[in-house]
Amino acid sequence: MAKTIPTNTMPAHGLKVTQASDINDGDIHLDVDAVVIGSGAGGAISAYELAKAGKKVVVLEAGRYVPSEKFTEMMAVSMDAMYADHGGQSNSAGDIAVLQGTCVGGSTVVNAALCFRTPDYYLDLWARDYGLTNLTPEVLLPYFEKVEANLSIETNKSYETSAGAELLRTGMKKLSLPDSSAKRNIRDCVMTGFCFAGCKSDRKQSMLVTYLPWAAAYGAEIYADTRATRILAKNGKASGVEAQVVDPDTKEIKASVRINAPIVVAAAGPIQTPLLLQRSNLANSSGQVGKNFACHPTLSITGMFDDNVDNFHGATHSLYMDKYTMPEEGGYLLLDAVQDPTEASFQAEPGTGEPYMAYMSRYRNAVRLITLIHDQNVGEVNWNNGAKEIKYFVDDADFEIMKAGLKTNARILFAAGANKLHIPSSQPLSIDSENDIDSVIGGLKNEPARYRYTSFHPQGTCRMGADPAKTVVSPTGETHDVHNLYVVDASLLPTSIGYNPSETVYALAHYINDHINRVHS
């Protein structure tokens, strides 16, 4: 599919962004055609499509603008500067790290770039259970093709495969399990393995280097360090946004912002979008804003090998196994993943002192395999005494799915040649023999704060559907209660989808903005 990108007006490097350091006026008033809250997957595509249609667009991003030349390729530094809550965002029990990007470009800047089309299974499910008969595979196909062309979403080249992934592939083959090569939005990967810290070479086709510059080339203005505090509405229609420009270092409020706009696009993500709607007292006649939270909890088993593997170069994800991904078949996905020392240090609990030093001294021998589950939408996101609360615990049935996935995961690692496995737990937990897999993993109990889960995929808090009494957003992305207020991020997803949701969000963002432009031509 041909691109419609104004490459002749693109800057050679960097992005024009208004930051807190640029603000001297304490009050900012803007009149625009559309304001977009959030600059990640949904927000950047919205800004591009609306600006390309001739609308005057402003994008508000609560996080910093960090250009790629300032990426440190150090996970701890990047988490502090570019992740929500400095990388510390978690559920209320503190056992699930809910990792989201908070920077210009959002989570696309710090994710692993892994992309999957939405399986027809879920599109059929959403049509049957939520009235989304408009989102058929035939309707969405051209949108998937568009984003795949624009973002260079392609299957990993053979030379991009990490050393650990090659070992895991041999293990899968020994067990007669199918392996698949990952697709990522990467152009000419240099295989540094620092995707989660930001791609310094600009090879990852994040919103920072694609849709945001393209939107800016069509005239969109981008404000960083600018947190929306309230969405405004009048006579049942969106009318604008109130926001604050906050210095990210001193936390000083540099300016109050009032933006008048007949179109408001909320794309702040499945945590902040529902919180913003709650603070604004909007779009919640169904009582579903913030409800139905899912997050694809993952546990990584780390296998230790006799020889150095040096599994920290190559594609962050090289291969996956989805033989048991659909809910009726198991409900879990397996993914390989390279890891830097920071990640390695919290992906297992060998103990403290000498046990910890012994574990980290063998970092070069480690290979990680992730078990990701299709979880039930059992959580919710709310304000609790003025603070956000992610109230989510792994469901008992979901935990049994996790255990089944971990058993397959462990068998693959042993078949690949591992001699010892570490399971991320609050207490040291390891498996020394393949014969112990069923007893150790089978004996695990679903206890809060026991395991070290990680989630990169929050979703579902502003569920899309045809019934205003049960959902927040209509089948075309507009909130049922407030006209011209649209939601364009992963909070739309009616159910967990069991795969990385980024390409689903990319496609839905294009689809919804095509609708916006038809209605507001």
Residues 129 and 267 in one domain: yes
CA pair distance 370, 426, nearest whole angstrom: 18
Task: Please name which of 149, 141, 67, 69 lies closest in space to residue 104, comparing C-alpha atoms.
Answer: 67
Write out the E strands in 6-148.
27-31, 34-37, 57-60, 96-98
Q: Is the pLDDT of residue 364 over 90?
A: yes
Give domain status of residue 287, yes or no.
Answer: yes
List the helix and strand counts (H, then E) for the chain: 12, 22
pLDDT digits (tens, 9 = 90+) for 278-305: 999 999 999 999 999 999 999 999 999 9
Answer yes or no: do 85 and 125 share one domain. yes
DSSP class of residue 83 equals: B
Question: Are residue 166 and residue 240 in the same domain, yes or no?
Answer: no
What is d(CA 348, CA 207) in angstroms, rounded to the nearest whole number?
Answer: 32
User: What residues form DSSP beta bridges with 244?
Assistant: 227, 256
Residue 175, φ and ψ in degrees, nearest 5: -95, 5
DSSP assignment letter at 462: T
Q: Any idea which residue has 């879990």 for tokens?
A: 332
Q: Which of 336, 74, 346 is nearest to 194 (CA)?
A: 74
Q: How many residues does the chain have?
A: 521
Q: Residue 9: inside a domain, yes or no?
A: no
Q: In this predicted structure, what is the pLDDT of residue 137?
A: 97
Identify whether residues 39 and 107 lie together within a single domain. yes
Residue 169 has pLDDT above 50, yes or no: yes
Q: Which of 176, 252, 246 is nearest to 415 (CA)?
A: 176
Are 215 and 264 found together in one domain?
yes
Q: What is the pLDDT of residue 2?
A: 39
The answer to whether 425 and 450 are in contact (CB under 8 A) is yes
- Which helix or strand (DSSP H or E) is residue 341 part of? helix 341-346
Residue 452 lies in a domain: no
Nearest to 406 by CA among 385, 383, 436: 436
Mean pLDDT confidence for 370-389? 93
Say which amino acid occupies 111.
N
Beta-strand runs (E) in 12-67: 27-31, 34-37, 57-60
Q: Is residue 334 part of a domain?
A: yes
Supply the pLDDT for residue 351: 76
User: pLDDT-based confidence at 115, cuts 50/70/90?
Assistant: very high
Work out the percent of the chain whose per-residue pLDDT is above 90: 86
pLDDT at 133 over 60: yes
Question: What's the pLDDT tens digit per position in 233-264?
Answer: 999 999 999 999 999 999 999 999 999 999 99
- The confidence score (pLDDT) of residue 384 equals 85
Number of Cβ within 10 Å of residue 444's Cβ equals: 18
Q: Are 161 and 211 members of one domain?
A: no
Q: Max CA-CA distance within the chain?
A: 68
pLDDT digits (tens, 9 = 90+) for 390-423: 999 999 999 999 999 999 999 999 999 999 999 9
Q: What is the mean pLDDT of the chain?
A: 94
The string of pLDDT tens digits covering residues 142-160 is: 999 999 999 999 999 999 9
Q: Is residue 436 part of a domain?
A: yes
Structure confidence at residue 3 as a pLDDT band (50, 70, 90): very low
Chain centre to alpha carbon of residue 24: 34
Arithmetic mean of pLDDT, 82-102: 94
Rg of the chain, C-alpha, whole Å: 22
pLDDT at 335 over 50: yes
Do 137 and 250 fall into the same domain?
yes
- Residue 343 pairs with which residues in a beta bridge? none
Answer yes or no: do 134 and 235 share one domain: yes
Specify if 431 maps to a domain.
Answer: yes
pTM: 0.95
As a whole number of angstroms, the distance between CA 183 and CA 320 comes to: 10
Q: Verify that 121 and 173 share a domain, yes or no.
A: no
Structure tokens belonging to residue 215: 């939107």
What's the one-letter identity of residue 192?
T
CB atoms within 10 A of CB 443: 8
Residue 8 pLDDT > 90:
no
Mean pLDDT (whole number) for 61-89? 93
Helix or strand (DSSP H, E) at 394: none
The reply to whether 12 falls in a domain is: no
Which residue in this structure is represented by tokens 């397996």?
334
437, two tokens: 């897999």
Between CA 400 and CA 406 the distance in angstroms is 10
Candidates 318, 275, 378, 390; CA nearest to 112 is: 318
Please say if the pLDDT value at position 162 is more than 50: yes
* 180 and 247 together in one domain: no
Query: Among 406, 500, 396, 401, which residue's Cα sits nearest to residue 457?
Result: 500
User: Which pLDDT band holds residue 6 (cuts at 50, 70, 90)?
Assistant: low
- Examine the domain organization and report whether 319 and 366 are in the same domain: yes
How confident is the model at residue 73, as a pLDDT? Answer: 86
The domain containing residue 364 runs over which residues? Answer: 153-184+298-374+394-447
- Give the span between the Cα atoms of 180 and 191, in whole angstroms: 19
Predicted pLDDT of residue 46: 98
E-state strands within 109-251: 153-155, 180-181, 183-185, 221-223, 226-234, 237-246
CATH of the domain at 317: 3.30.410
Same domain, 348 and 223: no
Query: What pLDDT does residue 10 have?
Result: 55
Q: Residue with structure tokens 């697709």?
A: 183
Has residue 47 been placed in a domain? yes
Q: What is the CATH number of the domain that holds 129?
A: 3.50.50.60
Mean pLDDT confidence for 155-175: 96
- Per-residue pLDDT, averaged over 308-322, amounts to 93
Alpha helices (H) in 374-430, listed in sequence order: 396-416
Banded model confidence at residue 192, pLDDT cuts 50, 70, 90: confident
| Nearest by Cα to 92 from 426, 388, 520, 415 | 388
Per-residue pLDDT band at 11 (split at 50, 70, 90): low
Region 103-130 average pLDDT: 97
Q: How many domains does the chain have?
A: 2
* Per-residue model confidence (pLDDT) at position 492: 97
CA atoms of 106 and 502, how far apart (whole Å) = 12
